Structure 1
């Protein structure tokens, strides 16, 4: 059986070309017997192309390339013709077609798809983190988080955590009630990444009444009474003063507004 050799030449890691070769070869040799696939990643110089062509000619290898730079693609094609080496351009035809169709030049930046993948997985990780450490379920998350939110019930801690998670921030949130001591981890965290959320007693009263009604409970429950709300807010201020964190008034603020305020503070801190 003749041995098949493939060289995958890429200006990134070569994963796309590698997968394409395997998809095609599997139609002829499902168990990849007598098949060799060799990657040449991060190729950006024409001198490197000449070296690869020389090796491919000696080993009778087929070159598959995924190069986004037009000059490199053209150079490898010409070298293949000149030295009688089989070369196959995977990206070029589609890049040229789209450029012609939408009248827009490609960025020609290698590895963008992998950067997007990394962004996606960071977001998923942050969302899972926010769910795991929501509502003080596990105080260990406080020390692992990028951002820690503290506040009384119904100050938008959970939706704010999820919104920030979609911006790739790992967020833990901690509810504060007078009858329960805050977790010790809250007082160990860097106060610059901790934010207290407060709301006007009147608005909180309305929100809690609506919540009780939605649950099928009477709106006169202690949870929504003004005295109870004042007690919780007083306790909140005692805790955040001890933590030393910034307090944000979320009264009449959309989640996006509060999130942008927090992101600005966090990013400014990184620059210091």
Structure 2
């Protein structure tokens, strides 16, 4: 029997971001799957586990959980077994592998990925940097960046910078606008990795038209004219070639895929990748 619509219980002793992201990553592989999500976050007491179990009894379905405390896991597992619903500890295989490889037991402390450590503050700092240096703002700080993205309008510069910032990378972006000179600081910057982003001209025209419609703005002829946009793209590629900046075509890439390609270039530049 094929099931499309079902109850999905996501149980976590922390924010639930991890189990939610994992569930989403798996479910995209199943066309027409429609989970009814029940998110149970910050589950850290037996009373809270009892509430979760009551919710599962009321709406039986798949249970994914990331509880690390054995005293909380056991009653959840036992009740799911009695109800005949699958309960999957999604982190167990990975934690087990690390434990075997490192030769030590896991600490079983909930929410450690959200601890206020150096990595956390680095991400906050990077996010502030990305917003301060978005769309060519504060060009005097470009040489403090880890990565600078250059590209024509609607080539995903800003969302890619935000994604990189969430990985602790200080990213700035500079738009390539016809007739507008680039800041001299861009050409003097020797610290950051400078990457050009480009897109298919027809795709750019469609994105720009949608953008103007959402803003209820009158169409600017050159901004959405295919010949003009093609000239923009050619000029952008030529600029990157002249300065030996790597170029990434984002036409068929998601933000995550573009960021992954940039991170690979960054690691190679840092000597961390062959």
Coarse TM-score class (shorter-chain normalised): 0.5 to 0.7
Q: Is the contact made by 1:187 and 1:242 (CA closer than 8 Å) also made in structure 2? A: no
Inter-partner Cα distance in structure 1 for 2:242 and 2:187: 8
Contact 2:143 2:191 in 1 (8 A): no
1:145-156 to 2 correspondences below 5 Å: 145-156=145-156
CA deviation string 1:54-112 (max 9, x = no partner): xxxxxxxxxxxxxxxxxxxxxxxxxxxxxxxxxxxxxxxxxxx9455547954399xx7
Q: d(CA) in 1 for partners of 2:190 and 2:257?
A: 23
- Pair 1:167–1:179, CA change in 2 (3 A): same
Shift of 1:271: 2.5
Matching residue of 2:27:
none
1:153 and 1:113 map into 2 onto residues whose CA distance is 36
Give the structure 2 partner of residue 230 of structure 1: 230
* Contact kept in structure 2, 1:150 and 1:174, CA below 8 Å: yes
2:173 — aligned with what? Answer: 173
Query: Larger Rg: 1 or 2?
Result: 1
Q: Map 1:16-165 to 2 at 5 A.
A: 98=69, 100-102=71-73, 106-107=106-107, 116-165=116-165
SS in structure 1 of the partner of residue 270 of structure 2: helix
Alignment correspondent of 1:206: 206
Alpha carbons of structure 1 residues 220 and 170: separation in structure 2 relative to 1, 3 Å: closer
In structure 2, what is the Cα distance between the partners aligned to 1:208 and 1:98? Answer: 50
- For residues 149-199 of structure 1, the C-alpha deviation after alignment (integer angstroms, 9 at most, x for no partner) is 000111010011001000000001000122112111222234871110000
Say how many residue pairs are matched.
174
| Aligned equivalents of 2:144, 2:189: Cα separation in 1 | 9
CA distance in 2, matches of 1:265, 1:222: 33
Query: For the structure 1 residues 98 and 213, does the alpha-carbon distance in structure 2 shift closer, same or farther, using more than 3 Å as the test?
Result: closer
SS of corresponding position for 1:194: strand
**1: distance between equivalents of 2:191 and 2:200?**
23
What's the counterpart of residue 260 of structure 1? Answer: 260
Question: Which 5+ residue runs of structure 2 have no aligned equivalent?
Answer: 1-67, 75-91, 93-104
How large is the Cα RMSD of the aligned pairs?
2.7
- Is contact 1:210-1:219 (8 Å) kept? no
CA distance in 1, matches of 2:236, 2:113: 45
What is the distance in 2 between the residues matched to 1:145 and 1:192?
5
Contact 1:99 1:106 survives alignment (8 Å):
no
C-alpha distance 107-271 of structure 1, shift in aligned 2 (>3 A): farther
Q: Give the TM-score normalised by the residue count of structure 1.
A: 0.58
